[in-house]
Amino acid sequence: MDVVPVFEEKWTYKPFSAHVDEKGNIYARGSQDMKCVGIQYLEAIRRLKLQGVTLRRTIHVSFVPDEETGGVDGMKAFVKTNDFKNLNIGFALDEGMASPTNEYPVFYAERIIWQMHIHCPGHPGHGSLLLENTAGEKVAHFLNKLYEFRKTQQQKLKENPNFTIGDVTTVNLTQVQGGVQPNVIPPEYILTVDARISITTCLKKFEEMVNKWCSEAGQGVYVEFEQKQHLVTPTKVDNSNSYWIAFKSAADELGITLRPQVFYGATDCRYIRTVGLPAIGFSPINNTPILAHDNDEFLNTATFLKGIDYYQKILEKIANLAGYFKKNEKRLKM
């Protein structure tokens, strides 16, 4: 299954051995993200079938490639096909995230991803000189602006106790290219910036701000976009969404506390929402440190098994949702 790479020497146990320690913790890459959820879906459906449960709606379970590398050849491509359209999907469930508290996060939207290359050209020359208009000076000016903005977002997060990281915009310098040898001032540096923009931010104003930083940094500085997403309409988590009502009803019967929020990363949900379908991200993992993509990723066996029970209840509630079946409102996708 689709998981990220490992640094085996950093793990206590072999990352693909699924070692279970004395506390019942399963150590394995993908134990939280997201082999667990795929297996839980299948086992919950198996139990419903064994119990002879009849559902009003069809449940489709999809396993697609490349989610960890952007989903370009996976869900992004799949939602554009006739095969997907012919499934006649009404609602989708996808992965969520572990929670270190007793609450369960439920994700109804995702931040907007902009990945930018900032080109900073300048006067090249010998490293012993004090040349004007160098690429490095422009880099310094741009990064000062970037990190000033970053501090405003950190402050916003600190000042709002109800905020999560998904409620603010994050900007991070992730790559720097340029230079040929220590004594040569390079003709250009290229900065790569990963921005995850909050869904309440005006994208036009954000782009104007980045362009202003470029113009202020110096002559010839410009932004090139590797990825520039638009705002995808969030899934409603209120009484106007009958699927949410069914999901919430199941959670209430299970006695679990949900916390709707904006996902800070990216999942395949964004492609499903892009084609106009409601989608919720949920993983039944609480009281567990968030270790997706980390060393020593683990999931406790009791938490894993409890999650299957949760999905049984949730799937039955959603797939038995009554009411008038409009076109594209007949089936549940996972």
Question: Per-residue confidence of the chain (334 residues) as pLDDT tens digits?
Answer: 568 999 999 999 999 999 999 999 999 999 999 999 999 999 999 999 999 999 999 999 999 999 998 899 999 999 999 999 999 999 999 999 999 999 999 999 999 999 999 999 999 999 999 999 999 999 999 999 999 999 999 999 999 999 999 999 999 999 999 999 999 999 999 999 999 999 999 999 999 999 999 999 999 999 999 999 999 999 999 999 999 999 999 999 999 999 999 999 999 999 999 999 999 999 999 999 999 999 999 999 999 999 999 999 999 999 999 864 445 455 667 7
Write out the binding residues. 33, 68, 95, 293
Catalytic residue among 2, 194, 309, 316: 2
Picking from 2, 13, 12, 28, the residue whose alpha carbon sits closest to that of residue 299 is 28
The CATH number fitting domain 112-198+200-228, selected from 3.30.70.360, 3.30.43.10, 1.10.3720.10, 3.50.50.60: 3.30.70.360
Specify the 3-state DSSP secondary structure of 29.
coil
Structure tokens at 290: 């968030």
Contacts of residue 255, defined as CB under 8 A and 6 or more positions apart, other chains included, come to none
CATH 3.30.70.360-classified regions of the chain = 112-198+200-228
CA distance 11 to 19: 11
CA distance 123 to 153: 34
State the amino acid at position 67 in one-letter form.
Answer: E
How many CA atoms lie within 13 Å of 55's alpha carbon, on the beta-carbon side?
Answer: 21
Structure tokens at 324: 């008038």
Confidence (pLDDT) at 207:
99
167 part of the active site:
no
DSSP letter (8 states) at residue 164 = -
Structure tokens at 179: 């230079």
43 part of the active site:
no
Contacts of residue 60, defined as CB under 8 A and 6 or more positions apart, other chains included, come to 87, 89, 331, 332, 333, 334
Question: What pTM was computed for the model?
Answer: 0.90
Measured in whole angstroms, the distance separating CA 14 from the mean position of its chain's CA atoms is 26
Catalytic residue among 66, 67, 110, 296: 67
Phi, psi of 19, deg, nearest 5: -65, 135
Write out the binding residues for Zn(2+). 33, 68, 95, 293
Picking from 114, 134, 136, the residue whose alpha carbon sits closest to that of residue 124 is 134
What CATH fold (topology level) applies to the domain 8-110+234-333? Answer: Aminopeptidase (3.40.630)
CATH 3.40.630.10-classified regions of the chain = 8-110+234-333
